Amino acid sequence: MTPEPMFIVEDDDHFRETFIDVMSLKGVEVSGVRTGDEAIAALRRASHPSVIIMDVQLPDVHGFDLCRRVKGLDGYRDTPVIFVSASSQYSDPRDRAEGLQAGASQFLPKPISVERLWSEIESVLSGPRPS
């Protein structure tokens, strides 16, 4: 069984493209964009992804705010969001808590290997889903 499509919002082109390439080798379709505005537009047009991977620091919007916007879109309230961030600014547990309160299922530090991220995605997708 092929996993459902995923979506990534990441302004680091290398990380985004590497993630998409590695997931395609696993038989997982992933689409991705660089900015929050592109994400909202793409999610309104696309079929619902199984999970959204989202950078916290995007060029046009803070990831926490984007997550809240995504969760407000029709049909996305229960879609898992996994935050990733390279900034040491978000190492404080209060910041991680704010990300989770914004609607994220997980908050992970960069650098992160694609294999570790895949493991976290599998964990989020196999865990209990809100009703």
Report pLDDT digits (tens) over 64-107.
Answer: 999 999 999 999 999 999 999 876 565 677 777 888 899 999 98
- Rounded to 5°, the CA angle 29-130-102 comes to 80
**37, two tokens:** 């505005």
- What residue ranges do the domains of the chain occupy? 6-126
Beta bridge partners of 81: 52
In the chain, the largest separation of any two C-alpha atoms, in whole Å, equals 39
Q: Please, which pLDDT band fits residue 21 given cuts at 50, 70 and 90? A: very high
The residue ranges of DSSP E strands in the chain, in sequence order, are: 6-9, 30-33, 52-55, 81-85, 106-109
Q: What is the pLDDT of residues 105-129, one digit of tens each?
A: 998 888 888 889 999 999 999 876 5
pTM, whole model, 2 decimals? 0.89
Q: Which CATH class is domain 6-126?
A: alpha beta
Task: Rounding to the nearest 10 degrees, give the CA dihedral for residues 102, 38, 74, 1.
Answer: -90
